[in-house]
Amino acid sequence: MADKMNASKVNSGKVNVGIIGTGNIFPAYVKGCRSFDILNLIACADMDESRAHTAAQEWTIQKASGVDELLADPTIDIVINLTPPQSHAAVSQAAIAAGKHVHSEKPLALNREDGRQLLAAARAKQVRVGCAPDTFLGGGLQTCRKLIDSGAIGRPIAFSAAMLSHGPESWHPNPEFFYKVGAGPMFDMGPYYLTALINLLGPITAVTSITAVSFAERLITSEARNGQRITVDTPTHLPGVLAFESGVVGTLVTSFDVWSDRSHIEIYGEEGTLRLPDPNTFGGPVQLWDRTKREWNDVPLTHSADVGRGIGVADMAYAIRNNRPQRASGELALHVLDVMQSFEESSRSRQHVTPTTTVKRPEPLPEGLAAGQLDGSF
């Protein structure tokens, strides 16, 4: 980001934050933002303004309003976009047009072209774009980054990753959007796995996949809409092979079609194997395979796991203040989006797909950060 862009918003003191979207993930962001000294959560909004007022009262937030009113508020520096995936691009574009920095829930957009347009608009307005997931900034995955970078498993050569479940219809109060374009297991959960892998191994250069819709309909069994059926409009089983610029090759499977839940990532190196924690968490466990004793050993975390959703927003605020790159950046999210879209394109074409974007690995967090603080001053 250019110096002018960094200086254009937020010069000193706390950074004022407003949240658009008061659904299921909203409480996690409220708690996460309040755990960082640099962030000052002052407003929330929702397309249903009454929901915003209810949320503001429950969480003691100063201002509640409709979306347009929040975007027009000159005191708000960063907008957190927690709307449904189908609205991410439009709401983020509106925030950028209003001169706000914006941090979006994943995915950045429904397709890479919309993602590119977001980043171009941000450059023109001299504001920043960030995007979830920020779980790779938690103690578990930062410990893994330190192990990889320090050569604990030697040169990484391969990996295996999977997110297997039978979907959210048994617990989510309104699960229909998970089975529409822009969701499914890849766009919903894939960002956690791909972001973790890119943070550890670098950018992805080739994708091969054959996808499937295993069930044309899904039965909701959660309480609010029990017995209703969902028409499935997006692939729900997506196995693929990924090649990285670093030479690493491996497999990633995301599925809503498997009855027994399973989540794992293992990275295989010339000298050992690293087992990662669930990338949808901020903690451990982290394990290394002892090839001499032929057993797994737990690795103590080198970074704090006592963080939550919102650490990416805090890192954006520190990045603005200290004129440095942010870690959960729009560029990282665009590369993840590009790779996710490549799964379906590869399946349709029955060919390898080369992502059109690339990204540098984010800088690792330093060790020993005090609670509520990141690297830099404010």
Q: How far apart are CA 341 and CA 114, in angstroms?
A: 12
Q: How confident is the model at residue 375 (pLDDT cuts 50, 70, 90)?
A: very high
pTM for the whole structure: 0.94
Q: How far apart are CA 263 and CA 192, in angstroms?
A: 11
State the pLDDT at residue 335. Answer: 98
| Token pair recorded at residue 74 | 């000159």
Which range, of 17-21, 84-88, 109-113, 253-257, averages the lowest pLDDT? Answer: 84-88
Fold type of domain 3-134+309-327:
Rossmann fold (3.40.50)
State the pLDDT at residue 11. Answer: 54
Look-up: residue for tokens 């439009």? Answer: 90
**Taking 80 as the threshold, does the pLDDT of residue 157 lie above it?**
yes
Choose among 34, 33, 88, 26: nearest CA to 58: 26
Rounded to 5 degrees, what angle do the CA atoms 327, 24, 166 make? 90
Domain ranges in the chain are 3-134+309-327, 136-298
**Burial (CB count <10 Å: 0-12, 13-18, 19+), residue 377:** exposed
Residue 273: Cβ within 10 Å count: 18
Q: What is the DSSP letter of 66?
A: -
- Which is it for the CA torsion 65, 67, 68, 74, positive or negative? positive
Q: What is the largest CA-CA distance in the chain?
A: 63
Q: How confident is the model at residue 13 (pLDDT cuts 50, 70, 90)?
A: confident
Peptide bond connecting 74 to the previous residue in cis, omega within 30 degrees of 0: no
Q: How far apart are CA 47 and CA 128, in angstroms?
A: 23
**Taking 70 as the threshold, does the pLDDT of residue 7 lie above it?**
no
Fold type of domain 136-298:
Dihydrodipicolinate Reductase; domain 2 (3.30.360)
Mean pLDDT for the stretch of residues 275-295: 94
Residue 3: Cβ within 10 Å count: 9
| Token pair recorded at residue 365 | 């967090």
Q: Give residue-wise pLDDT tens across range 88-112.
A: 999 999 999 999 999 999 999 999 9
**Taking 50 as the threshold, does the pLDDT of residue 126 lie above it?**
yes
State the pLDDT at residue 318. Answer: 97
State the pLDDT at residue 1. Answer: 39
State the pLDDT at residue 88. Answer: 96
**Taking 70 as the threshold, does the pLDDT of residue 77 lie above it?**
yes
* Backbone angles phi and psi of 265, in degrees to 5: -140, 125
**Taking 70 as the threshold, does the pLDDT of residue 2 lie above it?**
no
- Ramachandran region of residue 310, left (φ > 0), alpha (ψ -120 to 50) or beta? left
Choose among 160, 159, 146, 157: nearest CA to 361: 146
Q: What DSSP string runs through 213-243?
A: ---SEEE--SGGGTT-EEE--S-SEEEEEEE
Q: How confident is the model at residue 254 (pLDDT cuts 50, 70, 90)?
A: very high
**Taking 80 as the threshold, does the pLDDT of residue 283 lie above it?**
yes
State the pLDDT at residue 378. Answer: 87
Q: How far apart are CA 372 and CA 364, in angstroms?
A: 17
SS3 state at 239 = strand
State the pLDDT at residue 12. Answer: 61
Q: How confident is the model at residue 5 (pLDDT cuts 50, 70, 90)?
A: very low
Q: How far apart are CA 28 and CA 44, in angstroms?
A: 14
Q: How confident is the model at residue 78 (pLDDT cuts 50, 70, 90)?
A: very high
Look-up: residue for tokens 């603005």? Answer: 320
